[in-house]
Chains A and B, each alone.
Chain A
Amino acid sequence: MAPQHSDAPRETGTQLVKRGLADMLKGGVIMDVVDPEQARIAEDAGAIAVMALERVPSDIRRDGGVARMSDPEMIEGIKAVTTVPVMAKARIGHFAEAQILQSLGVDYIDESEVLTPADEAHHIDKWAFTTPFVCGATNLGEALRRISEGACMIRSKGEAGTGNVVEAVRHLRSILGDIRRIGTADPAELFDWAKRLQAPLPLVQEIAETGTLPVPMFCAGGIATPADAALVMQLGAQAVFVGSGIFKSSDPSRMARAIVEATANYTDPDILAKVSRGLGEAMPGLEIGSLDTKLAERGW
């Protein structure tokens, strides 16, 4: 058989291409890194992508002040040493930061509540970009509003920088629980669901038909151990973001590898027991009740 030649036109930046990269990240761990050395450690441990930012969330929480997009030079430095996708954060509503990140050629933009919001009413119009976006959500309505703005991946927000998984669990259960309930609703009830969720009706109808979110759904905010990763994966997350949990632990390299193994083998307690042994200290955790600022409340 002769090889076939194709010179058909190419389309970039389509929804299929943008959501497709999120599909390829499923079952993996995306790690926050603040410099090329951490990026190397993350990739050595099996990270499927890295999130380039200047300070991990627990430091942002400690330092206070306004948290902004990272310096392009720092993002370039991380891109130069990694072979896996590189993500970076823009402030909520700050489309100029997102334009800069797209120009830098990052693979995914996180419109993130971890940074200080730039707009108190509007999120970025994500349809206007070739680079795909991930956005956080605490409930299904928020997730669907972000998807209607063009987000191609949703992550449950959790409470970043706390090392406390309780908020991540709350948000995942809320989103996935409502998806299950919509799956059993009759067509007339979907109008009420759309109204209560403050979400577009066609997206609610799509969930009723397919039983899933239209885009991949990952989990972030408070994951600090391999067991935490296995917990959220069993609850229905399709991949995990780990922020402070790796580089604020006493042995980042081992913790990173252990969380990667736990995420891949999340239903196998024997492997989870093996990889959880002798990891040293996990990051110091914070009680949610003791927080001055709840990052998850940012976004509308």
Chain B
Amino acid sequence: MSPAIGILALQGAVDLHARALARLGVDAVEVRRPAQLDTVDALVLPGGESSAISKLLVLNSLFDPLRERLRAGMPAFGTCAGMILLATGVLDGRTDQRSFAAIDIDVRRNAFGRQNDSFETELEVAGVDGPTVHAVFIRAPVVERVGPGVEVLATVDGDRAVACRQGAVIVTSFHPELSDDLRLHELFLAGVAA
């Protein structure tokens, strides 16, 4: 049986990740409650507002069970807010904001500025063959510290990391779910299957 893929569906661009996965033949499960988490083998954490999602994770009694699953090695793919939630440290976040420390990086929120500074660009991403990835950054975070064992997959401005991988966890500052390029979702699914 193929592994069950979930999407954390408390807030954010859940529908766009579902559409990207559907194009790859994956019928993803929306996860809002602990019982739904129990049914999935891997989880996508979508873009949205990390502070609001962090709050809803606690209110829905999902924070602790999800942290346990991630500690036990569940594969995860976090984009933008999802990257912030999976990180170890969060800079410029709210003091009550929580994260899972599922990947050993520190991330700065809104590192490129406000919405008027949001941008699209072309990126070389390690592990993704073929032409550059069309990357959309929306009030995006950036990785400010990379721990040992974390692989940097892509950078902008020379040395600012915007995509990382550690084991079965992949994170991006940008939104592959907003473009038609499915290769980062494929990279995640390949890690789930491995």
Contacts and interface: CB of A to CB of B under 8 A. Distances in A.
Interface string B27-70: 00000110000000000000111011001100110000000000
A293 B34 CA distance: 47
Nearest to B13: A23
Interface residues of B, number: 59
Contacts of B157: 7
Interface of B: 9-16, 32-33, 47-49, 51-52, 55-56, 59-60, 80-81, 92-94, 96, 109-110, 114-127, 132, 136-139, 151-159, 161, 175, 178-179
A85 interface: yes
Tell me what chain B mostly uses at the interface: helix, strand, loop, or mixed: loop
Contacts of B154: 3-4, 6
A10 B121 contact: yes
B117 A27 contact: no
B115 A132 contact: yes
Given A28-B11, A84-B49, 19 more contacts: A3-B153, A4-B155, A6-B155, A8-B121, A10-B120, A11-B120, A14-B120, A16-B178, A17-B120, A21-B138, A24-B13, A24-B47, A26-B11, A26-B15, A27-B12, A28-B49, A48-B49, A108-B115, A268-B33
A260 B126 contact: no
A125 to B, nearest CB: 18
Contacts of B117: 12
- B11, B15, B60, B123 pick with most chain A CB within 10 angstroms: B11
Contact of B136 (A17, A48, A49): A17
Chain A at the B interface: SS class? loop
Interface string A254-292: 000100110011001001000000000000000000000
A57 to B, nearest CB: 23
Contacts of B12: 24, 26-28
Contacts of B116: 12-13, 102, 105, 107, 130-131
24 contacts: A1-B126, A6-B121, A6-B132, A6-B155, A8-B132, A10-B119, A12-B119, A14-B120, A17-B137, A20-B136, A21-B115, A24-B49, A25-B49, A26-B15, A26-B48, A28-B52, A107-B116, A108-B115, A131-B116, A260-B52, A264-B11, A264-B56, A265-B60, A268-B33
A2 to B, nearest CB: 7
Most chain B CB neighbours (cut-off 10 Å) among A49, A105, A108 = A105
B9 A27 contact: yes
Q: Which 8 A-B pairs have the closest CB atoms?
A: A4-B124, A3-B152, A107-B115, A8-B122, A10-B119, A27-B11, A48-B49, A46-B55
